[in-house]
A and B are shown apart, each in its own frame.
Chain A
């Protein structure tokens, strides 16, 4: 069995699965239950000055009958006194010395406030800190969370202040509610962050009740934006992790967060540069027991691939992520329909005909039976048909050999006229 233990900036954990700072890590009771179930670590629900919460806090988005495709919350940081949390952290760490406990922290952007809270937490034996610069609702209105996390200078300064007081590694948790997350990630690194974690939740309104016209959720007839997470945000989170992972200035480990629901999602985040992952919504949907398959599935995957340690796959796909201008314009795939597998739902035809490149024909054979065929010379390889196809294996995207050598847009532009200033970088 592969070694699943990780070392993230010096924080050791028996496996890469941590519970993210959120309702599941609100108390010692919960975190101990999670560790009993097998979770490798937990980021304790954000410590700070106790707050007041509202009632009616969560909402979820269903898609085609599937519950919790996305999840939205307006709950704030811990509403329990700091000393109670610290006592429970101490007890939990004592019972589970090999599991990682990270204290999430949020205070006002003042040096003495950061020094004060870090010093108070130091004694209870946490393995590290996670600075919450991401919470988008409530706390942000008071200048904390995402409000300070959106200002690179404040990210840098607060990280520096926390590091001044901390003897354990400091992870900076970043908000996605920003145009380019690498800017704040770089600021965290400049401030001395030992690691970064992302993403926190995305500003969201889960829905509007079309009958009462109230927001979802509403608090006595009034709503406010919340933070969005769950499976729907995974691609957004994965891109942000990947952008940071491939950025040379951001040379610290990444703790990946955002819609991770199973071991396959985990593998994707690890390949894209996460050293471990944090999970919340999936646990809130199904309970802590999901960790059993997270561990089992990951372990079987690694064994099957002949990989001895989970750390060996971290970042393996990062070199394959680049800018559009570096993609080969001469690479060509076309759709090919396997008529023996095709069930003739014609979804590929109508998708291509109405919304793509009009190259899938509905035909009849000599016996009058319907079949579909791609006019490969007109197919641009957009993948849409294979995306909408409900029959596994009915449509393959086939790589065509091309006599032309690879040629990227950037290469083409520099070749044409040899103007070096034409080099295009679409991301920055």
Chain B
């Protein structure tokens, strides 16, 4: 990972995609290394069930359009997933070559094909013949886009309502640019828009249009609103100006100009999930001199993927395990000067099966910092969910049995809004698959279409 010196004007370069794509020769050699397994375990390990040996064989044969279409058919956000999927836990982890040589670089090959489609301005799909039914989708993130794409192919008139200025949700605003450039997310959005899907941006449901109106105007509504801001820490000093929400912090690096105000600063990030890693690596790339991740459990319990952890270490992020923040300190002008922490010890497992951290009294110490970033998970859009009048459990929408239908039979939900409480998974690729399945479920209800198409 090479970075330029953190000087003004050089920072933008730090936010360009860090990993280069495969060269044509690399892609050819790697694709030919694929065994083209029959009933391949990589397909089974992909939540969207991409025909991986199929798309790789098409790279080897030079049929790049066919390869990109194979990927995007199964996964409407397949270009993003090529970059952000935890492949070693999914397809690449299942590759049979793990047992003999080394697994195929499936993610990089997927990126190669989708990059080809992007660079060659390929339109891969055509909208289905209109069936007269209307579906509203709230949120244009991976789940919403995926549902919209499948419904459009099936002939539905689809309108997506997006509160943000631009569509794409998490892929547009929530994943650091050096892993997922916005242009990739926008290409996926364009693929969906080209199917006559209307995306109304800057339109906040519940404010600009009521939930009831939306439900009344459409044959079905899909709630794909994801999650909200990072909750407060509940400690003294967290309302200071230099205490940030990690989601907002990352978002700021993807909108407008890159700020130079973190050059030479010391930052603390609270939490050790993937968002915490993103906030920490963003800080480094914004020129911060020292970045510390503070986590009350140990490396073993952290929820960040291993490759994210490795990446953060390579970027120079420091880790304080078994450490909890107790107070954010500031000087008389309100400028953050440090974070007071307390050492923890793990006791017996709590309700969620994870060992509970307990404070060691008298172990307080101060880490001098100029800013603090909160990354302890995300809160829920409880208000909006309640406006739709559907059942939920602490903001996690409750589903009916083995379906994506909510307590209101016209309203469906998928993506992060159903994640938690034993439901779903918080991966982009899982959201994409849920979006597809939600579309098929709606089709089976409204048109008697076959469920489980993919």
- Mostly helix, strand, loop or mixed at chain A's interface? loop
- In chain A, residues 59-113, which have Cβ atoms closer than 8 Å to a Cβ of chain B? 64-66
A347 and B36: CB pair below 8 A?
A: yes
A390 to B96, CA, bound (A): 10
B60 and A65: CB pair below 8 A?
A: yes
**What residues of B have a CB within 8 angstroms of the CB of A344 in the complex?**
37, 41, 96
Q: For the side of the interface on A, what is the size category?
A: 10 to 19
Q: Does A391 sit within 8 A of B, measured CB to CB?
A: yes
| From B28, B39, B100, contact of A390 by CB (8 A) | B100
Decide: A343 near B99, CB < 8 A? Known: A349-B38, A390-B35: yes
A346 and B36: CB pair below 8 A?
A: no
Contact with B along A344-372 (1 / 0, CB 8 A): 11110110000000000010000000000
Q: Does B97 sit within 8 A of A, measured CB to CB?
A: yes
**What residues of A have a CB within 8 angstroms of the CB of B99 in the complex?**
343, 391
A404 to B333, CA, bound (A): 101
A362 to B29, CA, bound (A): 30
Residue of A nearest to B99 (CB): A343
Decide: A362 near B39, CB < 8 A? Known: A343-B97, A391-B100: yes
| From A64, A65, A66, A346, contact of B37 by CB (8 A) | A346
B38 and A350: CB pair below 8 A?
A: yes
Contact with A along B91-126 (1 / 0, CB 8 A): 000001101100000000000000000000000000
* Highest count of chain B CB atoms <10 Å: which of A64, A345, A391: A345
Contact with B along A163-181 (1 / 0, CB 8 A): 0000000000000000000
**What residues of A have a CB within 8 angstroms of the CB of B29 in the complex?**
65
**What residues of B have a CB within 8 angstroms of the CB of A64 in the complex?**
32, 60
CB distance from B120 to the nearest CB of A (A): 15
- In chain B, residues 37-53, which have Cβ atoms closer than 8 Å to a Cβ of chain A? 37-41
Residue of A nearest to B41 (CB): A344
Residue of A nearest to B60 (CB): A64
A390 to B35, CA, bound (A): 7
| From B28, B32, B35, B60, contact of A345 by CB (8 A) | B35
CB distance from B94 to the nearest CB of A (A): 10
B38 and A347: CB pair below 8 A?
A: yes
**What residues of B have a CB within 8 angstroms of the CB of A65 in the complex?**
28-29, 31-32, 60
**What residues of B have a CB within 8 angstroms of the CB of A66 in the complex?**
32
Decide: A346 near B38, CB < 8 A? Known: A64-B32, A65-B32: yes
A131 to B60, CA, bound (A): 43
A391 to B99, CA, bound (A): 9
**What residues of B have a CB within 8 angstroms of the CB of A390 in the complex?**
35, 100
B28 and A347: CB pair below 8 A?
A: no
**What residues of B have a CB within 8 angstroms of the CB of A350 in the complex?**
38-39
A343 and B100: CB pair below 8 A?
A: yes
CB distance from A391 to the nearest CB of B (A): 5
**What residues of A have a CB within 8 angstroms of the CB of B37 in the complex?**
344-347
CB distance from A39 to the nearest CB of B (A): 31
A343 to B32, CA, bound (A): 18
28 A-B residue pairs with CB within 8 Å? A64-B32, A65-B28, A65-B29, A65-B31, A65-B32, A65-B60, A343-B96, A343-B97, A343-B99, A344-B37, A344-B41, A345-B37, A345-B38, A346-B37, A346-B38, A346-B39, A346-B40, A347-B35, A347-B36, A347-B37, A347-B38, A349-B38, A350-B38, A350-B39, A362-B39, A390-B35, A391-B99, A391-B100
Q: Which residues of B contact A (CB under 8 A)?
A: 28-29, 31-32, 35-41, 60, 96-97, 99-100
Q: Which residues of A contact B (CB under 8 A)?
A: 64-66, 343-347, 349-350, 362, 390-391
Q: Which 6 A-B pairs have the closest CB atoms?
A: A350-B38, A346-B38, A345-B37, A343-B96, A343-B99, A64-B32
- 20 other contacts beyond A347-B35, A350-B38, A362-B39, with CB at 8 A cut-off? A65-B28, A65-B29, A65-B31, A65-B32, A65-B60, A66-B32, A343-B96, A343-B97, A343-B99, A344-B96, A345-B35, A345-B37, A345-B38, A345-B40, A346-B37, A346-B38, A346-B39, A347-B37, A390-B100, A391-B99
